């Protein structure tokens, strides 16, 4: 293989929210800016993962294409030779490797995945697809030998499972996979002290998501800058009366500080120096609201300019090239497990 690989994917079956942007998209944009020329950068739509939450099959394809345009509007460089943009289901090796890996992944470890527990809780007819989704994610990563996987904190466990599977198969069959870096090195590479976990603005004990009970706690990338600023200004805080970075006692305030830190790209130290001990929560809300609305204005203007033809060409070229790369890894695995001479 050539250059080391940075890779991420975001499910594309619904509109993205600020948590997706700050956890999955922005770190990718910054990493590729910083490491252009040195790393291969893969960003893809894990469309086969769409079915793990409720999905409108009639609009899935359109929604996928809309969300792929978001990657470009957010700053991924469509013209770069080192950047590959693709749809998972267009590269059959993802599914084939998953079937093989399934036979080395344990029922017990998959049952312990927090996302599986959360998403299956209280549901009847929990699908095998939901249970198996972390194995598909492992295949997404291992096919390209990716080292760095910028994701939010909620995907940490899946990344660890990917490492476990890679190490397990390497121990049994020799070095067939590049093992992705562990969480500590992922954080170091993205110059972060902790993984991003953006909370709901209305209920900061929950993460920001598309499916929370109160939609005013979630900022969608399609919200107008004004509506988003309003959501920030009415964020739930606390009665402590002093600004502190303290997830346990002041999760609402800490959530705002986190959003501010990520959007401004000021260091954690700078953010603490600027805000710690201040008493006017309103000032912090105004500062965060300004950052969020400035980001949305620029992003939405970029989105309206994304050229659909160039996007289609980029996808087709990337899918051809990535199918070649993925098939090389798949062939190695097929040989190792005895499916090929």
List interacting residues with ligand TYM (CB under 6 A). 7-11, 19-20, 22-24, 46, 49, 137, 140-141, 149, 151-152, 154-155, 158, 196-198, 207-209
Q: Are 75 and 29 in contact (CB under 8 A)?
A: yes
| Least separation in angstroms between CB 104 and ligand TYM | 18
Where helices occur in the chain by DSSP H, the ranges are 18-20, 26-35, 60-73, 93-102, 107-111, 114-120, 128-142, 156-173, 183-189, 225-233, 251-264, 268-275, 281-304, 308-336
181 included as an active-site residue: no
| Least separation in angstroms between CB 314 and ligand TYM | 19
| Least separation in angstroms between CB 43 and ligand TYM | 9
Torsion angle (degrees, nearest 10) of CA 9, 11, 14, 18: -50
152/225 with CB nearer ligand TYM: 152
- 136 Cβ neighbours under 8 A, 6+ residues apart: 46, 48, 49, 94, 95, 98
Among candidate residues 207, 231, 285, 314, the one labeled active-site is 207
Of 188, 182, 189, give the one whose Cα is nearest residue 164.
182
119 included as an active-site residue: yes
Q: Are 104 and 168 in contact (CB under 8 A)?
A: yes
Among candidate residues 66, 123, 184, 210, the one labeled active-site is 210
Among candidate residues 3, 66, 117, 119, the one labeled active-site is 119
| Least separation in angstroms between CB 292 and ligand TYM | 14
| Least separation in angstroms between CB 10 and ligand TYM | 4
Give the 3-state secondary structure of residue 85.
Answer: strand
Residue 215 tokens, joined: 């939609």
210 included as an active-site residue: yes
- 188 Cβ neighbours under 8 A, 6+ residues apart: none
What is the rounded CA–CA span in Å between residue 119 and residue 142? 25
| Least separation in angstroms between CB 333 and ligand TYM | 17
Backbone angles phi, psi at 147, to 5 degrees: -100, -45
Residue 9 tokens, joined: 């994917």
79/159 with CB nearer ligand TYM: 159
| Least separation in angstroms between CB 217 and ligand TYM | 10
Other beta carbons less than 10 A from residue 199's beta carbon: 25
17/314 with CB nearer ligand TYM: 17
What is the rounded CA–CA span in Å between residue 115 and residue 117? 5
Other beta carbons less than 10 A from residue 152's beta carbon: 19
Q: Are 200 and 212 in contact (CB under 8 A)?
A: yes
Q: Which residues are catalytic?
A: 119, 207, 210
């Amino acid at each position: 293989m050539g250059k080391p690989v940075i890779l991420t994917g975001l499910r594309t079956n619904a509109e993205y929210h600020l948590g997706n942007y700050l956890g999955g998209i922005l770190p990718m944009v910054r990493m590729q800016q910083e490491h252009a020329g040195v790393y291969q950068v893969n960003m893809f739509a894990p469309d086969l993962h769409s079915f793990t939450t409720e999905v409108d099959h009639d609009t899935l394809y359109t929604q996928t294409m809309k969300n792929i345009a978001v990657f470009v509007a957010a700053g991924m460089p469509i013209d770069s030779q080192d950047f590959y943009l693709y749809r998972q289901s267009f590269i059959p090796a993802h599914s084939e490797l998953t079937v093989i890996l399934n036979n080395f992944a344990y029922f017990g470890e998959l049952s312990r995945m927090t996302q599986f527990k959360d998403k299956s809780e209280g549901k009847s007819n929990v699908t095998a697809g939901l249970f198996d989704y972390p194995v598909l994610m492992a295949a997404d990563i291992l096919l390209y030998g990716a080292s760095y996987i910028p994701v939010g904190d909620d995907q940490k466990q899946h990344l660890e499972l990917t490492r476990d599977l890679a190490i397990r198969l390497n121990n049994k069959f020799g070095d067939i996979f590049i093992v992705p870096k562990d969480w500590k090195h992922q954080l170091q590479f993205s110059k972060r002290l902790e993984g991003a976990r953006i909370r709901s603005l209305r209920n900061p004990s929950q993460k920001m998501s598309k499916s929370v009970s109160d939609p005013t706690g979630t900022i969608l990338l399609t919200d107008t800058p004004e509506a988003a600023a309003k959501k920030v200004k009415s964020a739930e805080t606390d009665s402590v009366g002093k600004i502190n970075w303290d997830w346990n006692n002041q999760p609402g305030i800490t959530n705002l500080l986190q959003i501010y830190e990520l959007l401004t790209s000021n260091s954690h130290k700078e953010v603490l120096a600027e805000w710690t001990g201040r008493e006017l929560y309103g000032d912090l809300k105004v500062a965060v609201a300004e950052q969020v609305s400035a980001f949305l204005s620029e992003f939405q203007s970029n989105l309206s300019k994304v050229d659909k033809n160039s996007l289609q060409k980029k996808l087709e070229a990337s899918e051809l090239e990535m199918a070649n790369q993925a098939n090389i890894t798949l062939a190695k695995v097929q040989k190792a497990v005895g499916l090929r001479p």
